[in-house]
Structure 1
Amino acid sequence: MKIIAVNGSPRKNWNTHILLNKALEGAQSEGAQTELVNLYDLAYKGCISCMACKVKNGKSLGHCTVNDELKPVLETIEKCDGLIIGSPIYYSDVTAMTKGFLERFLFQYLSYDDYSQTFYDGNIKKSAFIYTMNVPESMTDQIGYNALFEKYKMMFRHFGYDQTIVSTETLQVNDYSKYHMASFNEAERKERREKVFPADCQKAYDLGKSMAKV
């Protein structure tokens, strides 16, 4: 069993990274092999629409041919059993690096003959998303985030989409006084980090544990 987590956050050892590591700890507790990919460590671009992955009888059918640092990652992911993608929400969507990864990962398997079909024939049996953000849970539907989560869930329908974990009102920095961030209550954020974030970590751990039981 191999579980891969893809970190779409530029900030290591912070909210998204911590949750993904907890998920991998859960998978490891069930004996799974795990790997964490930090997208911001890689040099790559999003899909360039070359259509090489869709050439009839082509040697690259269903596979991205762009030869950069993401290519071997895509090849490794294709062979894993479980995939967890984590991203903070920046300007109402996943990060740019996450978006570029999703373009490259998903488009290679998309068939324009029939949208219900896929060129994917790999091992992934379960997939999941972990999102972190500064907005409160009560606002996620109002500002369209729930629709965003459903969109990505639909995109992963061919990969056994399992669940979505959302961590809200996360701690953004250690010292808010250094930044123009007066709309946030530092004391409340730090209290939430101590009392609520551990529950999110447990959810992530349980996700990884469950995924490793596929």
Structure 2
Amino acid sequence: MKVYGINGSPRKNKNTATLLQKALDGVKESAKDKEIEIEIINLYDLNYTGCKSCFACKRLGSKSYGKCAVKDDLQEVLEKVSQADGLIFSSPVYFSNVTGQLLSFLERLLFPYLVYDNNGTSLAPKRMPTAFIYTMNVKEELMKQIGYLKTFERMEFNIGHIFTKPLVMYSNNTYQFDDYSKYKVESFSEEEKAEYRKIQFPLDCQKAFEIGVNLIKN
């Protein structure tokens, strides 16, 4: 078995990546009696674009039917991921949505599997379990108030349609800088954020771990 963690953050060792690794640790913990591999794919290490609307993936009788035909750094990744036994997506939230890098990846991953028939059939080789981890600077109440969840749910619906409905967790009010004094951030209190992180981030790590534990069970 193989489970991939898709890191949509440009950082490899901060909030998003840490929670993603915790989730993969949970996958390993839940699969003690099975042979299971885990791997993180850092999207910002790759050179690629979003969907180019070439429709090669929809061309009947072609080798590219149901597959993305664009040849770039995602070509091999998409082939690997197509045979996964589970996928965990993770991203910081920029302007109320996941990063552009992750959105472009999801376009290339999901669109080739979507059939333009009356049922919107999925051509995905596996109905693999999925999960989504979001990290963001805003507090939970503001996240709900300004409509973040509706934005997230649209992509979660698409993932669920192609694969399975994702397990979801949010890490709010994240600590963004190593030294707040170096940045223009009067709207945030470093002391308040540091205290919140000390209490909440370990809990978020545990939630991410539990996401991984439950992923293969679903």
Q: Which TM-score tier does this pair reach, normalised by the shorter chain?
A: over 0.9
Q: How far 1:190 moved relative to its partner?
A: 1.0
The runs of at least 4 aligned residues of structure 1 exceeding 3 Å deviation read none
- Report if aligned partners of 1:5, 1:85 keep a CA contact under 8 Å in 2: yes
When residues 78 and 49 of structure 1 are mapped into structure 2, their CA distance, relative to the original with a 3 A threshold, is same
Task: Describe how 1:111-122 pairs up with structure 2 within 5 A.
Answer: 111-120=115-124, 122=125
Match of 1:36 in 2: 40
Q: How far 1:146 moved relative to its partner?
A: 0.9
Query: How many residues get paired?
Result: 213
Match of 1:14 in 2: 14
Gaps of 5+ in 1: none
Match of 1:154 in 2: 157
- Report if aligned partners of 1:129, 1:164 keep a CA contact under 8 Å in 2: yes
Q: How far 1:212 moved relative to its partner?
A: 3.1
Match of 1:168 in 2: 172
Match of 1:101 in 2: 105
Normalising by structure 1, what TM-score?
Answer: 0.95
Instruction: Report the 3-state secondary structure (helix = DSSP H, G, I; strand = E; otherwise coil) of the residue aligned with 1:161.
Output: coil
Higher alpha-carbon deviation: 110-119 or 25-34 = 110-119
Higher alpha-carbon deviation: 152-161 or 84-93 = 152-161
- Report if aligned partners of 2:113, 2:122 keep a CA contact under 8 Å in 1: yes
AA partner of residue 55 (structure 1): R
Instruction: Report the 3-state secondary structure (helix = DSSP H, G, I; strand = E; otherwise coil) of the residue aligned with 2:71.
Output: coil
When residues 190 and 209 of structure 1 are mapped into structure 2, their CA distance, relative to the original with a 3 A threshold, is same
Normalising by structure 2, what TM-score?
Answer: 0.94
Match of 2:142 among 126, 139, 143: 139
Q: Percent of pairs identical after alignment?
A: 47
When residues 156 and 48 of structure 1 are mapped into structure 2, their CA distance, relative to the original with a 3 A threshold, is same
- Report if aligned partners of 1:83, 1:124 keep a CA contact under 8 Å in 2: no
Q: Does 1:180 align with 2:180?
A: no
AA partner of residue 138 (structure 1): E
Separation in structure 1 between the aligned mates of residue 127 and residue 44 of structure 2, nearest angstrom? 23
Separation in structure 1 between the aligned mates of residue 118 and residue 108 of structure 2, nearest angstrom? 19
